[in-house]
A and B are shown apart, each in its own frame.
Chain A
Amino acid sequence: MNLNKNRNKLIIIFLIILGIILVTLSITKGSVKIPIKEVIAILFNQDSVSKSHKLIILELRIPRTISAIMVGMSLAISGAVFQTLFKNPLTEPYLLGISSGAALGVAIASVFGFVNIIGGIWGTFSFAFVFAILTALIIFTLAGKNRSSLTILLLSGLAINFFLSALNSLLLYFNKDKLENIIYWQMGSFNLSSYEKIIVTMPIMIILIIVLLSKTKELDVLLLSDDTATSIGLDVKKQRIRLLLITTLLTSICVGLAGVIGFIGLIIPHIVKLLFGVKHKNVLPLSLYLGAIFTLLCDILSRTLISNTEIPIGIITALFGAPFFLYILRKTKVNAL
C-alpha cells in the first residue's frame, strides 16, 4: 500500500511539472516564437515589448490556452461519466455521435443564419445543445435495455455518425462558400478562441464540472447492475438522465467552442483508471487534470508539427485515439461483446 502511495505521489508530481511545461509551451510556441522572457514582460505589462507580440500573447495564445484547458477537462470528465453511465469502456460523447450531432447543429445554424436570430455565441451553443440532446436520445432509444452491450452501442454510434456526416456533407455540397467554416467545426480547432466565448461559457462549464464532481458516490454505485444499485437506494433512472443531460451540455459547449474533438473522453479516463483504479473520487478529478494537459499537448502539436500550417486538433487526437481504441478493444473480454 505504501509503495502504491509513493508511486502515486511521484506520478502526481510528474503531472504537475508536465502541466507547467505545457502551459508555458502553449503560450510561447506557434508560428511566431516568443521567448519566455518576453512573455513574462508582457504579462507584467512592461513597456519594452513589441506590440504585435503583446497582441499574440494576450489576445490569441492566452484565450487559446484557457479554451484548450476547459475543453480538455470537460471532454475527459464527460467521457469518464459516459463510461460509467453506459457501463461500457468504449464509449464517449464523440464515439456515440453526440459531438457530431452538436456539430451538425452548429453547421445548420451557421448555414441558415439561425445564429443571428438567437444572437451570436448563444445561438451557436443552443443549436449545438439541441442537436446533441436529440442525438443522445436517439442513441439511448436505439441501445434500449442493451446499454452495456458493446456491439449494439458502438454500432448504433457508428450508424448515427454515418448519418450525421451524410447530413454534414449535404450541407457542405450546397454551401461551398462556407466550406472552411463547416470543416473547422468537424475537425476541431482552438484557432477561434476568444475572451468573449470564454466569458460566456466558462462559468457554465465550471458549474457543470462541480456538479459532476459532487456525484462521485452516485457514479460509484452506478458501476453495479441497475437492480443492485436500486436496491442500495439509488434512483438509477433519475441519476442517469441527470448525468446524461449534464455531460451532453458540457460536450455541446465544447463543440461550440472548438468543434468536434474526438477520443479525449476515451483515452484519458482509461489511463486514469489504469493508474489509480475505478473509484470516481479519483477518476473524475484526475481525468479533469489529465484531459487538460493532453488537450494542451495536442493543440501545441497541431500548430507546431508543420511550420506555418495548423492541423485541426481533431486529426491529432484521432491519430492517438484510434490505435488506443483498438488496444482497449483487444483488452476487453470477448464475452463482454
Chain B
Amino acid sequence: MNIKVNELNYSYVNNPIFDSINLEFSKNKFHGILGPNGCGKTTLLKTILKLLKVNQDSIYINNEDILDIERYSLAKKISYVEQNSTQLPHISVRDYINLSRYLYNDYNKETNETINNIISLLKIEKLELKFIDELSGGELQKVIIARALSQETKILILDEPTANLDPLHQVEIMNLLSNLVEEKQITIITTLHDINLALSYCDNVVLINKDQIIQGPTKEVINKTNIKNYFNLNSHFIKNPFTDKDYVILNQ
C-alpha cells in the first residue's frame, strides 16, 4: 500500500504549517520523517491518519482519497503508535493488545491466534500477564507496537518510537521495526529525532523545516547541505564500522 500526499495544505489557528506539499511513501519501505521541534512532523502523521481535517484530494492511500475511506476501513489499512502514550488503562498486556482487535470477530476471545503470533514474534511472552502500567519504557514500547500490529494493517505509523528510551532499547526497537518491513512486508512511516538512527535504518526520509520540505532515499537526502539548511548544524560524515553505513557527527 502506498500513500500519496498531494498539494496538502494545513493551518493551525491561521498559522500555515503545510503549504501545498507533495510526498509519496512507497510500499514495503521504512520511511523516516525528520525535522526540528514544532515543524509539523506529528501533524503530517495525523493528517495521513485522518485524525486532522484535510481538504479533498490531499491524501491518497492506494489511489483512494482518505476522505472517501470510512473510519473502520481506514483502521484496517493503517495502525498508529502515538508518542509517549501516557494514557494507560490498568489492564494486562494481553488485554491491551486485544483492544486493537475491536473491528474483528475474535475480540476478547481467550485463544486468539493473531495475538499469540504477534506476542511470539516480538518475544514478549514473559510480559503477557503483567499490567501495562507496570512495564519499563522499552517493554511498554514493544507492547504498544504489538497492539498496533495486531490490527493487521499493511501500514504502520509511529510518532517518535524511540523517544525517552535508553540507547539499547532505541536500537532494539529500530531493529524490530526494520525486521517488520522485511518479514511482514509492511510500510513503516516514523518520525525520528536521531539522524543517525535514520541513516542506519530508513530507506527513505522526509526532511521538514518551516516552508521547506524534501523527500528521497536516505543516503541522498541526508547530506551536509541539507543538515545545515534543515537543522542549522554543521556535520561530518564517517562510516559506521558496524553497519558500513554513513554516520554523522554534528556540531553547531
Q: Enumerate chain A interface residues (CB-CB to B < 8 A).
A: 87, 148, 217, 220-221, 223-225, 227-228, 230-235, 273, 277-279, 281
B76 at the interface (CB under 8 A from A): yes
List residues of chain B with CB under 8 Å of any chain A CB.
46, 49, 51, 71-72, 74-76, 78-80, 82, 85, 87, 89-91, 95, 99-100, 102-103, 107-108, 151
Query: How long is the Cα–Cα vector from A322 to B87 in the complex, in angstroms?
Result: 27
Inter-subunit contact A232/B90 (CB<8 Å): no
Q: A87-B87, A233-B72, A279-B91 are in contact. Are A228 and B102 (CB under 8 A)?
A: no
| Residues of A contacting B82 in the complex (Cβ-Cβ under 8 angstroms) | 225, 227-228
Residue of chain B at shortest CB distance from A238: B71
Partner of A231, one of B79, B89, B95, B108: B79
B75 CB contact (under 8 Å) in A87, A148, A231? A231
Pair A279/B95 contact, Cβ less than 8 Å: yes
Give the 5 A-B residue pairs with the shortest CB-CB distance, closest first. Answer: A233-B75, A231-B80, A223-B89, A225-B87, A233-B103
| Cβ 8 A contact of A278, one of B76, B80, B91, B108 | B91
B135 to chain A, nearest CB (A): 16
Which residues on A sit within 8 Å (CB–CB) of B72?
233
In the bound complex, residues from chain B placing their C-beta under 8 Å from that of A281 are 108
Known contacts A220-B99, A221-B99, A278 near B89 by CB under 8 Å: yes
> Does A234 lie within 8 Å of B102, measured CB to CB?
yes
How many Å lie between the Cα of A221 and that of B102 in the bound state? 7
Tell me which residues across on chain B come within 8 A of A223, comparing CB atoms.
89, 91, 99
A227 and B51 within 8 A (CB):
yes
CB pair B46–A227 under 8 Å, yes or no, is yes
- Contact: A232 with B151, CB < 8 Å? yes
Nearest CB of B to A106, in Å: 36
Whether A230 lies near B99 (C-beta < 8 A) is: no
Task: Enumerate chain B residues within 8 angstroms of A279, measured Cβ to Cβ.
Answer: 91, 95
B107 touches A217 (CB 8 A): yes
User: Contact: A228 with B80, CB < 8 Å?
Assistant: yes
In the complex, what's the smallest C-beta–C-beta distance from B192 to chain A, in angstroms?
19
Q: Is the CB of A233 within 8 A of B85?
A: no
- Closest Cβ–Cβ distance, residue A286 to chain B (whole Å): 16
B102 contacts A233, CB within 8 Å?
yes
A169 to B135, CA, bound (A): 51
Closest to B92 in A: A277
A265 to B: closest C-beta gap in Å: 19
- Chain B residues with CB below 8 A from A277, complex form: 90-91, 95
- In angstroms, how far is the closest chain B Cβ from the Cβ of A153? 15
How far does the alpha carbon of A224 sit from the alpha carbon of B79 in the complex, in Å?
14
Nearest-CB residue, chain B, relative to A333: B133
Determine if A231 and B103 form an interchain contact, defined as CB atoms under 8 angstroms apart. Answer: no
Given B49, B99, B151, which contacts A224 in the complex, CB threshold below 8 Å? B99
- Bound-complex Cα distance A279 to B96 (A): 10
Q: Which residues from chain A contact B46 at a C-beta distance below 8 Å? A: 227
A87 to B85, CA, bound (A): 14
Sample of 11 further A-B pairs with CB below 8 A, known A217-B102, A232-B100, A233-B74: A87-B87, A227-B46, A227-B51, A228-B82, A230-B71, A231-B79, A232-B79, A233-B76, A233-B103, A273-B90, A278-B89
Q: In the complex, are the beta carbons of B99 and A233 less than 8 A apart?
A: no
Within 8 Å CB of A232, what residues of B? Answer: 75, 79, 99-100, 102-103, 151
Bound-complex Cα distance A228 to B85 (A): 9
User: CA separation between A65 and B99, bound complex, in Å?
Assistant: 38
Roughly how many angstroms separate A224 CA and B102 CA in the complex, as a whole number? 12
Please determine whether A225 and B76 come into contact, CB atoms closer than 8 angstroms: no
Q: How far is the CA of A230 from the CA of B102 in the complex (A)?
A: 11
Separation of A235 and B50 alpha carbons in the complex (Å):
12
In this complex, what residue of A is CB-closest to B79?
A231
Closest residue to B159 on the A side, CB-wise?
A: A227
Inside 8 A of B91's CB, which chain A residues have their CB?
223, 277-279
The listed residue with most A CB atoms (<10 A of its CB), out of B49, B91, B99, B108, is B99
Q: Roughly how many angstroms separate A221 CA and B89 CA in the complex, as a whole number?
A: 10
CB distance from B88 to the nearest CB of A (A): 9
- Kindly report which residue of chain A lies nearest to residue B129, judged by CB atoms: A1
Contact between chains at A224 and B87 (CB < 8 Å): yes
How far apart are the CA atoms of A221 and B95 in the complex, in Å?
11
| B74 CB, nearest partner CB in chain A, Å | 8
A233 to B74, CA, bound (A): 7
Task: Provide a sorted-by-A list of 24 A–B residue pairs whose CB atoms are within 8 angstroms.
Answer: A217-B102, A220-B99, A220-B102, A221-B99, A223-B89, A224-B89, A227-B49, A227-B51, A227-B80, A227-B82, A228-B80, A230-B71, A231-B49, A231-B80, A232-B75, A232-B79, A232-B99, A232-B102, A233-B76, A277-B91, A277-B95, A278-B90, A279-B91, A281-B108
Q: How far is the CB of A313 from the nearest CB of chain B, in Å?
A: 31
CB-defined contacts of B103 to chain A, threshold 8 Å = 232-233
| Closest partner residue, chain B, to A231 (CB atom) | B80
Nearest Cβ on chain A to B187's Cβ, whole angstroms: 15
A residues within 8 A CB of B76?
233
CB distance from A201 to the nearest CB of B (A): 32
CA of A87 to CA of B86 in the docked complex: distance in angstroms? 12
- A225 — which chain B residues lie within 8 A by C-beta? 82, 85, 87
Q: In the complex where A227-B51, A227-B82 touch, is A148 in contact with B99 (Cβ < 8 A)?
A: no
| Identity of the chain B residue whose Cβ is nearest the Cβ of A273 in the assembled complex | B90
Across-interface contacts of B87 in A (CB, < 8 A): 87, 148, 224-225
Task: Give the distance in Å from the alpha carbon of A315 to the alpha carbon of B60 in the complex.
Answer: 59
